[in-house]
Structure 1
Amino acid sequence: MSDVVKDSVEVALELNEKEVYSHIAHESAEDIIRIISSLDAERAKNRGEVIYYQDDWDDLIRQRIQKGKRHTAFDFYNPALLNIWEAKVKYLKKVRNYVKLAMLGILAFLAVTIILSFFFDTPWFLVGVSALPLLIFFHSYRKEKLDFAYYQLTQFFIDELRELVLKHQLDSTRYKFKIFSYDYFGILTRKIGSSIFAIVKTGENMTNTE
């Protein structure tokens, strides 16, 4: 009789554990889709598009990492996430700072040549003006480097979402996310109203979008 009771308790515990896993997986997926949309919105802004999206992707990732650490016992924390996120944030800041310094240096050089032209009555400013095309170069360089970094980070979270959906047998259609770019790997896109939403693909063919 005691064996029967013991087996029943074990079954109940297993069911509760599955419910816990399911709940945490759902919560994690909800967090990730917000991160994906926020990152892609930032990428679109970097391209010059006017995007009205309020979420701060950096803060969302911090929150996801904190939640993930609390759920470590349930295997909902990817240690690689922290390293990848920190590396990308450092890279984004480095590109922004270097380009900003370079552009300020060019403008300062132009200002110096204007001052020299004024004091020595010589067209030194023409030398400064000749450096202005570098501003266009650095602006394009910044945009290109940031775009690729945002792309990599967004694709990483798309892949994380897919793994979560597959591992815990979630319904991928429940986790659609707003998207502004269409070059990500392994998603299906659909237009809903005036916006484009995407879900992760879980089939064999992961390369095409609709």
Structure 2
Amino acid sequence: MTEPVRDSVEVALELDEKEVYSHIAHESAEDIVRIISSLDAERARLHGEVIYYRDDWDDLIRERIAKGKRHTAFDFYNPALLDIWERKVREIKKARLREKMAYASIAVFIILTVIATALLRQPYVILGLAVLPAVFLIWSLTREKLDLIYYELTQFFIDELRELVEKHSLRPERYRFKIFSGDYFGVEIRKSGTGIFAIVSPQSRVVTSAETGSND
């Protein structure tokens, strides 16, 4: 018979102070690597890439917020992460809503020009067709906006993971994650038999790389 799943608090109560923080850091790091991969997978899909990675980061964080079988490690480690995540999610939803409303407005305008053309026997439909290029412009601007949001959010969690690993002396290799874009700072790309993954780089190495790049 399998043992019942215990939440973070139950486990933490059995540990000393140092072990408590190490335990919290470990659970937080496990959550963060899933969030990083999920966010970057969404960003890659935004670029039209076919990504088979599935792990709903939205459900993950909501699961961690709920005080059910498990408590969220973020409650103990950095509650501000949840506030940042909520704000970015609202930005994503607003951008998608604005895009849909813009498409709907264009569609209504074209329909009205068609009706006007039929009733008044004047080529008003030409005006409707003239706004069609705006569809591509709206699509392009929305994708740029969403890409920036996903990038900022993913980079933020990468930075948080690196800080967590360094502060609590965790092994970066233990918290490797799938990554689909190559423009993030502070990560090292590794290859294994199962494919490509990434780990966070030590802060000193990131600073050195940045300084080297600026001197070139």
TM over 0.5, shorter chain: yes
Aligned to 2:199: 199
Q: Which runs of 5+ in 1 are unaligned?
A: 1-12
Q: CA deviation at 1:70?
A: 7.8
Select between 187-196 and 163-172 the one with higher mean Cα deviation: 187-196
The one-letter amino acid of 2:161's match is L
The one-letter amino acid of 2:180's match is F
Map 1:49-128 → 2, pairs under 5 A: 49-65=49-65, 67-68=71-72, 72=76, 76=77, 78-128=78-128
Q: Which runs of 5+ in 2 are unaligned?
A: 1-12, 211-216
Aligned length: 193
Residues 193, 32 of structure 1: alpha-carbon distance in 2 compared, 3 angstrom cutoff:
same
Q: Taking every aligned residue pair, what percent have the same amino acid on both sides?
A: 57
Q: Is the 8 A contact 1:38 1:56 kept in 2?
A: yes
Residues 81, 71 of structure 1: alpha-carbon distance in 2 compared, 3 angstrom cutoff:
closer
What is the distance in 2 between the residues matched to 1:169 and 1:145? 36
The one-letter amino acid of 2:58's match is D
Residues 71, 135 of structure 1: alpha-carbon distance in 2 compared, 3 angstrom cutoff:
closer
CA-to-partner distance for each residue in 1:100-153, whole Å, 9 max, x for gaps? 101110111111111221222221111000000000000001100000000111
Q: Is the 8 A contact 1:37 1:178 kept in 2?
A: yes
Q: Is the 8 A contact 1:99 1:138 kept in 2?
A: yes
What is the distance in 2 between the residues matched to 1:153 and 1:80? 13
Q: Is the 8 A contact 1:28 1:64 kept in 2?
A: no
Residues 115, 195 of structure 1: alpha-carbon distance in 2 compared, 3 angstrom cutoff:
farther
> What's the TM-score once normalised by structure 2's chain length?
0.81
Select between 139-148 and 55-64 the one with higher mean Cα deviation: 55-64
Q: CA deviation at 1:31?
A: 0.9
What is the distance in 1 between the residues matched to 2:25 and 2:173? 15
What is the distance in 1 between the residues matched to 2:23 and 2:53? 27
The one-letter amino acid of 1:87's match is R
Select between 150-159 and 186-195 the one with higher mean Cα deviation: 186-195
Q: Is the 8 A contact 2:177 2:197 kept in 1?
A: yes
What is the distance in 2 between the residues matched to 1:109 and 1:170? 58
Select between 56-65 and 141-150 the one with higher mean Cα deviation: 56-65
Aligned to 2:7: none
Q: Which has the larger radius of gyration?
A: 1
What is the distance in 2 between the residues matched to 1:61 and 1:201? 25
Q: What is the RMSD computed on CA atoms of the aligned residues?
A: 2.4
Question: What secondary structure does 2:205 align onto?
Answer: coil
Flag as ranges the 4+ runs of structure 1 deviating above 6 A: none
What is the distance in 2 between the residues matched to 1:159 and 1:138? 32
> What's the TM-score once normalised by structure 1's chain length?
0.83
Aligned to 1:9: none
